[in-house]
């Protein structure tokens, strides 16, 4: 039963015996219409299967009620956040136009699309969105917020977890639980997240007299972590040489490191403690049960959307504190010589 003729407020008006304006008001501003009229309109609309056309409304009102989000396609972390974004937008009655990119080079075409659709705001995810792309977006006057992209300070607002403090907290936890040697496994070193997380860890550890080397996996994905495991063992001269703990720059990466080490016969956490960063749902899965810094996703997204909605400052640079969740991927190491 395809609609033969498109139903517009005009058809509804005819059936209801009122003007088109009254129909429009019945939906957009019900209180400006008498109960009687509204009743008639609603009935007519119901029988005709009418729903207001959001496109037309957007054109007239210059506001689409759509928020755009630009995120990398293959990332457990972003998939996690998109779910949260979508839920919160639904609560606010907004829609989510989702743009994903597989390679950073795709970002520019994505930005083009974002601009064309006149979204009310854009959430720019990931460190791979470069300066130029952000300028393009904001130049149209579209509010933008860089999410966990600590670098984008001068162009638009940003909301980030406190990477440095979080990482320091994790490090402090390790020290407290008796770890005396710690190495850091980084993801993509070109990202601010990676640098800040390392810095936070290194500083905190140094204050306890521990020097923390940086070992780069190259990216934040599982495979990178799995692949670096062998290099780690070589680097440290086998299981015996491993530090008490490895702090890994992201959860997904950490899953890879855990699996990679275990595949090579290393026990986590008996031979080495491992921590992550992000607080993904999978981090609580018993197979990993990762000690990690949980990013308060709900709060982060709430702040970010607040910026876009104008509730928060336009050019603010918020930083939200995360918290350590202790899992069984880390534990008090055996005292030297006790093994």
Partner DNA sequence: GTGAAAGCGCTAACAA
Partner DNA sequence: TTGTTAGCGCTTTCAC
108 forms part of the interface with a second copy (CB under 8 A): no
Task: Give me the residue label for tokens 């009655």.
Answer: 93
**What is the DSSP-derived secondary structure letter of residue 191?**
S
113 forms part of the interface with DNA (CB under 7 A): no
- CA gap 252, 25 in Å, rounded: 50
CB nearer to DNA: give 61 or 87: 61
**Site map for a second copy, 157-196, x if CB under 8 A?**
----------------------------------------
Interaction residues for DNA, span 242-261 (CB under 7 A): none
In angstroms, give the least distance from the CB of 220 to a second copy.
14
Which span sits near a second copy by CB under 8 A: 28-36, 174-182, 230-238, 252-260? 252-260
- CA gap 313, 96 in Å, rounded: 22
Decide: 320 and 299 in contact? Cβ < 8 Å. Answer: yes
Interaction residues for DNA, span 2-21 (CB under 7 A): 6, 8-10, 18-21
CB nearer to DNA: give 16 or 185: 16
| Among 192, 246, 186, CA closest to 216 | 186
- CA gap 22, 20 in Å, rounded: 5
In angstroms, give the least distance from the CB of 88 to DNA.
23
42 forms part of the interface with a second copy (CB under 8 A): no
- CA gap 19, 309 in Å, rounded: 33
Interaction residues for DNA, span 58-97 (CB under 7 A): 59-62
Residue 21 interacts with which of DNA, a second copy, none, CB < 5 to 8 Å by class: DNA
Decide: 272 and 332 in contact? Cβ < 8 Å. Answer: no
DSSP structure string for 223-255? HHHHHHHHHHHHHHTSGGG--SEEEESSHHHHH
> E strands along the chain, which residues?
66-72, 95-101, 121-125, 144-147, 157-161, 182-186, 214-216, 245-248, 273-275, 292-294, 317-320, 323-325
Which span sits near a second copy by CB under 8 A: 55-63, 145-153, 202-210, 230-238? 55-63
Which span sits near a second copy by CB under 8 A: 89-97, 178-186, 271-279, 305-313? 89-97
Binding site for a second copy (CB under 8 A): 1-3, 6, 49, 51-56, 58-59, 62, 64, 66, 73-74, 79-80, 82-83, 86-87, 90, 95-102, 106, 109-110, 112-113, 115-118, 139-141, 222, 226, 255-256, 258-260, 262-263, 281-282, 285-288
């Amino acid at each position: 039963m395809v609609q033969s003729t498109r139903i517009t407020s005009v058809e509804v008006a005819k059936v209801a015996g009122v003007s088109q304006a009254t129909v429009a008001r019945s939906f957009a501003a019900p209180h400006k219409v008498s109960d009687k009229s509204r009743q008639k309109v609603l009935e007519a609309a119901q029988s005709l299967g009418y729903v207001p056309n959001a496109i037309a409304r957007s054109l007239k009102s210059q506001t689409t009620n759509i928020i755009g989000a630009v995120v990398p396609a293959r990332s457990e972390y972003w998939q996690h956040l998109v779910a949260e974004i979508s839920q919160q937008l639904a609560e606010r009655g907004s829609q989510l136009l989702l743009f994903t990119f597989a390679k950073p080079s795709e970002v520019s075409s994505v930005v083009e699309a974002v601009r064309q659709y006149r979204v009310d705001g854009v959430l720019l995810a990931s460190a791979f969105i470069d300066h130029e792309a952000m300028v393009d977006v904001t130049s149209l006057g579209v509010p933008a917020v860089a999410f966990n992209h600590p670098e984008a300070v001068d162009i638009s607002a940003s909301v980030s977890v406190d990477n440095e403090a979080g990482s320091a907290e994790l490090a402090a936890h390790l020290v407290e639980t008796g770890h005396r040697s710690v190495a850091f496994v980084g993801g993509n070193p070109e990202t601010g997240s990676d640098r800040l997380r390392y810095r936070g860890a290194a500083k905190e550890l140094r204050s306890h007299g521990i020097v923390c080397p940086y070992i780069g996996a190259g990216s934040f994905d599982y495979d990178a972590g799995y692949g670096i495991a062998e290099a780690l063992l070589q680097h440290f001269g086998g299981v015996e040489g491993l530090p008490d703990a490895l702090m890994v720059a992201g959860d997904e990466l950490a899953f890879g490191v855990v699996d990679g080490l275990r595949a090579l016969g290393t026990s986590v956490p008996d031979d080495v403690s491992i921590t992550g960063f992000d607080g993904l749902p999978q981090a609580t899965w018993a197979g990993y049960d990762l000690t990690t810094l949980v990013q308060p996703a709900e709060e982060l997204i709430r702040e970010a959307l607040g910026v876009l909605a104008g509730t928060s400052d336009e050019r603010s640079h918020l930083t939200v504190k995360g918290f350590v969740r202790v899992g069984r991927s880390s534990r008090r190491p055996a005292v030297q010589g006790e093994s």
